[in-house]
Amino acid sequence: MRRLFQFLAVMLASLALMARPALAQQILRDAETEAFMADMSAPLVKAAGMDPRNVQIMVINNPDINAFVAGGQYVWVHSGLIAQADNVNQLQGVVAHELGHIEGGHIIRSGEGIKEATGITLLSLVLGAAAIAGGAGEAGMGLMGLGQQAAMSKFLAFSRAQESSADLAGARYLHTAGISGKGSLDFFKKLQNQEYRLAIPQDNSYGRTHPLSGERIQVLREVYEPDPAWNKPVDPYLEARFERIKAKLIGFASEPRQTLIKYPESDLSIPAHYARAYAWHKSAYPDRALAEANALLAGMPHDPYFLELKGQILLESGKPREAIAPLREAVKLTNQPLISTLLAHALIASEDEANFAEAEQVLKLAVARDRENPFAWYQLGVVYERRGDTPRAALATAERYSMIGQDQMALRSADAAMQGLKPGTVDYLRAQDIAMVSRAAIEQHRKKR
């Protein structure tokens, strides 16, 4: 019985892992990174028969070499995977594989695999219990043990089949998009080296959720090498953007000392300046961080993301008034809602009443284009509160709390908003929607207790 419950626990944990909410982890929202991910993946998304406008590649702050899908048309990539990738082609190979999971509906279908395996386990439990009741205790326990083993084997085989299917689907997307599969193979070799270091036996993938990397390389090599795109070089513009993103993520996510070792002062490349700017900023050396940002702008004075970096350093160093000009230009060049939110922050932090009207306008446009930004809603609430519009301040607060899963606070704020808003208006109906959803979530949580 103990082994049975251990097996069921493994099945439930696997289901929870496949459906894990990415929001429970630290999502890295960055305008440049999201624009790059969209452009890099667009040919693959189209090849998979999906609309690039509906598929998002998001980054999670996690040092592990991993990527996954967890429902919807989202691919979640760990920052550690990007840091370990040698080039953009390797990243494209990973994304193509994950898109294969989306097209195949594997998250939904994984529940079928767990259900089937659990059915085998429960059947063996019934048969084993009947044997024990009939006096064949040893045979009954044996049936239970064999049932658990058969169920686990069934589930693992199901999982490996999904991974193999996603591998081949990813290869198809790369072929259709005219992108080489070299990066995909090279990345699997990285994973294989990791398996060697962990002393994972390489003779058989039985007992694993994924096929061994060596097995995957063997199958995919036969698909990739004859492909016309096999020797196609990486797009140099896309590769340059990848190196910038990689350096930025390393600078943001790594310890500053490690960043400065990887990108020493002698390295005057754009990625090195980028990485060091974040390292110095994290280390509370604003002057040195600003010097790196200015070095980037000296070569490309109208690069919106270098302007954003300078504005961020100034703002977070207590100089919001100086941050406004570079951030304003960055918004003008990109109209990107994340940068707009940063500009609004600087305008509000300037404590100049004359800037509040601009901040409100900028924030309204930002949340209209990207509603999934809690900080933008927070700032919009601040603007409304300062001008005395308490109902809309409460509505903005309700939006923020709803987004971060604080249902009690969302309901309270939505109710407060409805007290001051005119019934039937767009804002009133939105507050009503938030209240209804939050109340349902609270009730569902109460029933689970």
Cβ 81 vs Cβ 67: under 8 Å: yes
Listed in sequence order, the residues at least 6 apart from 389 whose beta carbon sits closer than 8 Å to its beta carbon are none
> Could you state, in chain order, the average pLDDT of each consecutive group of 10 residues for the chain (449 residues)?
44 42 69 96 96 93 88 89 95 94 66 47 49 58 52 50 83 96 91 72 55 81 94 95 96 94 97 97 96 97 98 97 98 96 97 94 95 94 94 97 94 97 95 96 86
pLDDT of residue 22: 45
pLDDT of residue 136: 60
pLDDT of residue 139: 56
CA atoms within 13 A on the CB side of 176: 16
> pTM, whole model, 2 decimals?
0.81
pLDDT of residue 70: 80
pLDDT of residue 191: 79
Beta carbons within 10 angstroms of residue 195's beta carbon:
15
pLDDT of residue 69: 87
pLDDT of residue 445: 87
pLDDT of residue 449: 72
Q: How far apart are CA 379 and CA 384, in angstroms?
A: 9
Nearest CA to 67 out of 92, 45, 34, 46 is that of: 92
